[in-house]
């Protein structure tokens, strides 16, 4: 079946519906949901029962890049700086040195056991060197897997920030395959330029995006997520245009925005959460359609050998060497090694050799696809079991709720205060988003001139307002008073 304008919407909607239903069923049996999306795409393809003829790496790469924008941005918005800050050095070490060591170690192994040249082997190693953000975020958050001692923030930080390193290595080694006379040291300036410009650009666009979101006055709440999507694409494309790493830029930009007070922040985050899931499904379906299972069969043996070496040798060695300067128990290092999920990102990166037309492109693509498939199947389905074996997981009853979750579910221990704003209070005339209000407290309602309002970030505080404030801890009230420029001694309360 050929994809045409007339049937693309029908085919797409049917595949999405099947994927959602299959994902719900697979979750109960412990099968990684993303694996089901991939398999459904393969079954719908030319070699499957669907017979859909799709063999366009360029379109697949475009879909992959757009999808990764949403997935990384959504993951960054959900990343708490307070939880990431204690493990920042470990996460950066894993996402840079860890990726490099994985790429070199696996690449040299491929060079020894295949007829690939050295640069071709290193290219394959670079393509599968990063953990997949879509796979890690969906499995850890989808299963609500609670881990001890900052393990989860470390894993999410690594998976969200290591794609840029893998991308730079992929482009660098692809360039060496095409122009071997350049030498390996010629790619160092490219790496430094990409990472430095990407990091600075991401931070600057984050600050700019906050100003734009909070100061622009849109008539409809639903336009704020659209505005954020626009800013996301501008961050990626502008950074890429000036020679930086766009993936790194959008991740840093989103982490910054996720930890700031934004107008309609909840609406933006909910929208991106849904869009991230949609993009994960679309991405895995597209890559499944691109693959011809009959072409993978000849590579099963070598692919399995490479995959097992990656899981049990290259990844653990890279993790242990990267974390040598840090104090961490052995079993936690082992668990970080095990959460080295390869998913859609390596398959997207594997389309670059296809489009470049190098000799081993087809072999690299099929091997990478098989490695990603086995990684999600073996590692993704065993994360809770391995966490239990290594004693790094928390019991179900001990899983912590965030303060926001507690408040939104009307936790019985939540505290409520009614605070009257007087005419001479400095906070009069300020928007809520500009109050620096503590994150574990909310203004649930405002009584104004006998009417009750449900506030949002753009609501302006007026004299004689009565704020109904909810929080989870008594000591947070001090921060509430400070943000409102009130002192407890002179505070008028009803």
Closest C-alpha to 165, from 192, 147, 146: 192
* Residues carrying CATH 1.20.1530.20, the chain: 8-398
How far apart are alpha carbons 311 and 338 in whole angstroms?
A: 7
* Residues in CB range of 312: below 8 A, 6 or more apart: none
Q: Which fold has domain 403-483?
A: Alpha-Beta Plaits (3.30.70)
Closest C-alpha to 432, from 480, 383, 365: 480
Instruction: State residue 401's pLDDT score.
Output: 47
Closest C-alpha to 161, from 250, 103, 248: 248
Cα angle 105, 392, 32 (rounded to 5 degrees) comes to 70
For 422-475, how does the pLDDT look when each residue is reduced to its tens digit (9 = 90+)?
A: 888 888 888 888 888 887 788 888 988 888 888 887 788 998 898 888 887 778
The total number of residues shown for the chain amounts to 494
Q: How far is CA 339 from the centre of its chain?
A: 15
Give the strand pairing for 415-420 and 441-448: unpaired
Question: What is the architecture, at CATH level 2, of domain 8-398?
Answer: Up-down Bundle (1.20)
Q: Which helix (H) or strand (E) holds 415?
A: strand 415-420
Q: Are 22 and 36 in contact (CB under 8 A)?
A: yes
Q: What is the DSSP string of 431-468?
A: BGGGS---TTEEEEEEEETTEEE---TTPBP-TT-EEE
* Residues carrying CATH 3.30.70.1450, the chain: 403-483
Closest C-alpha to 40, from 209, 320, 281, 361: 281
* Partners of 467 in beta bridges: 419, 446
- Provide the 3-class DSSP secondary structure of residue 428: coil
> pLDDT truncated to tens, each residue of the chain (494 aa)?
555 556 677 777 887 787 777 666 555 544 566 677 788 888 887 777 777 778 889 999 999 999 999 988 998 898 888 888 889 999 999 999 999 999 999 999 999 999 999 999 999 999 999 887 766 766 665 555 667 767 888 888 888 788 888 999 999 999 999 988 887 777 788 888 998 999 999 999 999 999 999 988 888 888 999 999 999 999 999 999 999 999 999 999 999 999 988 888 888 999 998 898 888 888 888 888 888 888 888 999 999 999 999 999 999 999 999 999 998 889 999 999 998 888 778 989 999 999 998 989 999 999 998 998 888 888 877 888 888 898 887 655 454 444 444 444 444 445 788 888 888 888 888 888 888 888 778 888 898 888 888 888 778 899 889 888 888 777 888 888 888 888 655 454 44
For 210-237, how does the pLDDT look when each residue is reduced to its tens digit (9 = 90+)?
A: 999 998 888 888 899 999 999 999 999 9
- How crowded is residue 75: how many other Cβ atoms within 10 Å of its Cβ? 27
Q: Which helix (H) or strand (E) holds 471?
A: strand 466-471
Task: Give, to the nearest 10 degrees, the angle between helix 223-241 and helix 188-215.
Answer: 150
Q: Are 154 and 90 in contact (CB under 8 A)?
A: yes
Q: Are 263 and 437 in contact (CB under 8 A)?
A: no
Instruction: State residue 28's pLDDT score.
Output: 52
Closest C-alpha to 443, from 473, 468, 474: 468
Q: How far is CA 361 from the centre of its chain?
A: 27
Give the strand pairing for 441-448 and 451-453: antiparallel
Q: Are 106 and 306 in contact (CB under 8 A)?
A: yes
Instruction: State residue 481's pLDDT score.
Output: 85
How far apart are alpha carbons 121 and 126 in whole angstroms?
A: 9
What 8-state DSSP symbol labels residue 58? H
Instruction: State residue 488's pLDDT score.
Output: 58
Q: Are 178 and 123 in contact (CB under 8 A)?
A: no
pTM of the model: 0.80
């Amino acid at each position: 079946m050929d994809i045409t304008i007339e049937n693309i919407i029908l085919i797409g909607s049917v595949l999405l519906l099947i994927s959602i239903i299959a994902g719900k069923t697979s979750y109960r049996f412990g099968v990684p949901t993303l694996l089901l999306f991939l398999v459904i795409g393969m079954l719908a393809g030319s070699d499957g029962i669907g017979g859909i003829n799709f063999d366009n790496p360029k379109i697949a790469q475009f879909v992959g890049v757009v999808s990764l924008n949403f997935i990384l941005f959504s993951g960054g918005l959900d990343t708490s700086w307070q939880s990431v800050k204690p493990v920042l050095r470990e996460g950066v070490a894993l996402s840079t040195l860890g990726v490099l060591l994985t790429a070199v170690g696996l690449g040299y192994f491929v060079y020894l056991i295949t007829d690939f040249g050295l640069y071709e082997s290193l290219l394959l190693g670079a393509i599968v060197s990063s953990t997949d953000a879509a796979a890690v975020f969906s499995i850890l958050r989808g299963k609500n897997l609670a881990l001890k001692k900052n393990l989860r923030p470390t894993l999410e930080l690594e998976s969200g920030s290591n794609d840029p390193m893998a991308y730079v290595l992929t482009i660098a080694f692809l360039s060496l395959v095409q122009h071997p006379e350049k030498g390996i040291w010629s790619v160092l300036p490219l790496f430094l330029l990409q990472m430095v410009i990407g990091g600075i650009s991401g931070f600057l666009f984050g600050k700019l995006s906050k100003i734009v979101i909070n100061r622009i006055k849109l008539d409809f709440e639903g336009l704020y997520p659209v505005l954020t999507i626009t800013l996301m694409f501008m961050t990626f494309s502008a950074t890429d245009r000036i020679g930086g790493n766009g993936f790194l830029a959008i991740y840093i930009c989103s982490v910054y925005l996720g930890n700031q007070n934004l107008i309609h922040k909840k609406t933006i985050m909910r929208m991106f959460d849904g869009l991230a899931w949609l993009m994960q499904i679309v991405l895995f379906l597209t890559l499944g359609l691109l693959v011809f299972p009959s072409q993978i069969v000849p590579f099963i043996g070598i692919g399995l050998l490479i995959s097992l070496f990656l899981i049990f040798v290259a990844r653990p060695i890279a993790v242990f060497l990267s974390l040598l300067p840090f104090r961490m128990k052995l079993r936690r290092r082992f668990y970080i090694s095990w959460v080295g999920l390869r998913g859609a990102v390596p398959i997207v990166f594997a389309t670059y050799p296809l489009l470049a037309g190098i000799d081993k492109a087809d072999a690299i693509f099929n091997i990478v696809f098989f490695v990603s498939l086995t990684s999600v199947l073996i590692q993704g389905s065993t994360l809770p079991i391995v966490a239990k074996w290594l004693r790094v997981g928390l019991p179900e009853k001990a899983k912590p709720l965030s303060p926001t979750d507690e408040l939104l579910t009307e936790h019985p221990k939540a505290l409520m205060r009614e605070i009257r704003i007087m005419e001479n209070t400095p906070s009069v005339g300020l928007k809520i988003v500009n109050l620096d209000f503590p994150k574990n407290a909310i203004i649930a309602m405002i009584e104004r001139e006998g009417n009750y309002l449900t506030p949002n970030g753009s609501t302006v505080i007026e004299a004689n307002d009565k704020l109904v404030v909810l929080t989870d801890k008594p000591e947070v009230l001090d921060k509430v008073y400070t943000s409102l420029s009130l002192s407890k001694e002179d505070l008028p309360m009803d």
